[in-house]
Amino acid sequence: MKNAWDKKKGTKANMAELGLSLNPNESIPIVNTRYAPKPAKEETKKGKKKTQNRSIVQELEAEASMSQKKIEVLSEPESLFCITLMKQYGEDYVAMAKDYRNYYQETPKQIRKKIMQFKKSQVNYAEYLDSKQEETN
């Protein structure tokens, strides 16, 4: 998009040239069923047809279609909280909720959700499992 942007033109003209819309309300009008729909505007004010650079639109669509893996990592205090409670109570979430380290007075369901998130985080949980294996050996 940076390569195709013309600094001499305004924002609206550049967006129209790239095939993008500055105002989505103008490009995709809401059709009112009471009245007859208005025909779409094909020409600009000067009477010229719009020229669009389709390559930019295709690049943006390709970039948007690529899925990105979301890496979930808990903060260090939260992961420490999960580790200490899991070491002491295992899977007993009711006892975890009653623990004195539960400063924010989270309910058993909230703690369970946080521990499930901790288990999904690859980095933190892998470190926990490694430390747990070292303790057993």
- What pLDDT, on the 0 to 100 scale, is given for residue 35? 66
The residue assigned the tokens 């779409």 is 40
Return all residues near 57 (Cβ < 8 A) that are at least 6 apart.
18, 19, 20
Cα 55 to Cα 19: distance, rounded to the nearest angstrom: 9
Least confident of 2-11, 34-43, 108-117: 34-43
Res 25 pLDDT > 90 = no
Is residue 54 domain-shared with residue 93, that is, in the same domain? no
Range of the domain at 24: 11-65
Q: What would the mean pLDDT of 96-104 be, rounded to a whole number?
A: 95
Residue 117 lies in a domain: yes
Q: Write down the pTM of the prediction.
A: 0.53
Res 27 pLDDT > 70 = yes
Where does residue 78 rank: exposed (0-12), middle (13-18), buried (19+ CB within 10 A)?
A: middle
The residue assigned the tokens 């580790």 is 83
CB 72 within 8 A of CB 117: yes
Is residue 53 domain-shared with residue 80, that is, in the same domain? no
Domain count, the chain: 2
Is residue 80 domain-shared with residue 132, that is, in the same domain? yes
Residue 70 lies in a domain: no
Residue 2 lies in a domain: no
Residue 6 lies in a domain: no
